[in-house]
Chains A and B, each alone.
Chain A
């Protein structure tokens, strides 16, 4: 069997093991990679920095545990920045397995910053059918969320006094692992003019760049790289994403090498056939 034929018929388990090693080894080797910030991430950071204490932000935790690796670090960093600035946060989740993610985030950060439920933040909880929920919140939060996640009527909470709909929010920072992002852009921004900033999984990121040019979103943070950039801008102490970027760098080099090797094999075998 010729060399290029071996390349083409390489057992996929070799690829898996190489990738596993490329991820595992850097985790035990201390080194850092430089993180350069991009304008789309900086615009989100600048927007939050421009807010004043007492301003209100809607935080949408629309991801499941499977997207936690990419979205949890950026959600943590942004919520920390907001709580440190005294911004009031309204948490909501429109993803089926999102309630647990949001609950974890809310309980961890409220303890860390000594924030009170119903005063400094509110966790509205989960409702199915995101598009309809997003539209209903544009009229009144109480339509979809008469009670918060813990079963307390929202009208009994100080944070909800005088709050009706998106007009009372500065923006929504939506952390998205699926098509709910389209609803935030189309329904919340399109219909109710609510400014939208997105935190996205890597898979989705490329698709949402056009909305920056059309000014339908303030900016976006794409995957672990976006999270690492945000940590750099916010000078975060807990740099989970930034630590992951060194592993990303090594694995990307391995992937590029595989692509080159695979293409050499492909073109050589094609030439042989011709």
Chain B
């Protein structure tokens, strides 16, 4: 049974969590609004609630609510528009070229662990790349940096091959753990690039100083390169060394667009609304500050 179809009667306690009794709501309101206790707590480590950060809690609840609402809308099949990311065409073109040349595709998922959302997005794109590659019967190499990422990468590639109707083409050895050390990993990947000469290098995830080393090596081997990262400081190197670069949050948009997964689509739409609200707050706050009204901005101050 999928978790999505679990109803309240199956887990009656869920209802209590989602719709807490009135006394509990009043208790939390008392905690939040109680002016005496809010300044009496000096030792924050011994308290359950940090009263100085209520504004952050409000924001978190608001953004969560917005995202959950959009996810629910996506789940019931409401059409949620997302503009097409140009980088997607570049990925298809790169895989296509590798197929024409009869050379492998190299997929690099960054150097961070699965708790990093970029790695998660990268794994989603990997699944779609695997599906694409399996369709063309092109070899796909996935050198991995962090041990926790290996099983997930294996699963994604396997699922991709299965989705393309070619589960037998999946080769577990093509998903390889290289090293958790940043530059050792880069050296290993560079070695693969130099020896295997992949026709397409796809680099999506969280990258640091190793980004240029790998992108430069890929450029030297003549591979078509598509990269994407939300680590702003690494984008310049991808921009100069790759054929196409997916910038910042476009990485998450790409994963949502490719997977059509309600959770990702809803999250993206929710974060779009959050961004619109932040833009309005920023513009209003700056204008009011210019007029000498600082009270509005102080709502967003976190002690």
* Chain A contact residues, CB within 8 Å of chain B: 12, 64, 66-67, 96-97, 139, 165, 177-179, 201, 203-204, 206-207
Contact = CB atoms under 8 A, between A and B. Distances in A.
Interface residues of B, number: 14
B209 A179 contact: no
Contact of B180 (A96, A139, A204): A96
Nearest to B116: A179
Contacts of A12: 220
B181 to A, nearest CB: 6
Given A177-B209, A179-B206, A204 B181 contact: no
B209 A206 contact: no
B63 interface: no
A204 B112 contact: no
Contacts of A204: 208, 233
8 contacts: A66-B183, A66-B209, A67-B209, A96-B181, A201-B209, A203-B209, A203-B233, A203-B234
Interface string B154-183: 000000000000000000000000001111
- The 9 nearest A-B residue pairs measured at CB: A207-B233, A66-B183, A203-B209, A178-B208, A96-B181, A204-B233, A207-B232, A203-B233, A97-B181
Interface string B191-210: 00000000000000010110
A96 B145 CA distance: 13
Contacts of B234: 203
B45 interface: yes
Nearest to B302: A190
B45 A139 contact: yes
A256 to B, nearest CB: 15
B243 to A, nearest CB: 16
Contacts of A64: 181-183
Nearest to B181: A96
A178 B182 CA distance: 9
A179 B45 contact: no
Nearest to B232: A207
Contacts of A207: 232-233
Nearest to A131: B115
Contacts of A203: 208-209, 233-234
B208 A179 contact: yes
A97 B206 CA distance: 20
A179 B112 contact: yes
A77 B73 CA distance: 57
A139 to B, nearest CB: 6
Q: Among A203, A204, A206, which residue has the most Cβ atoms of chain B within 10 A?
A: A203
A213 to B, nearest CB: 14
A64 B208 CA distance: 13
A137 B15 CA distance: 37
Contacts of B233: 203-204, 206-207
A66 B233 CA distance: 18
Contacts of A165: 45
Nearest to B211: A203
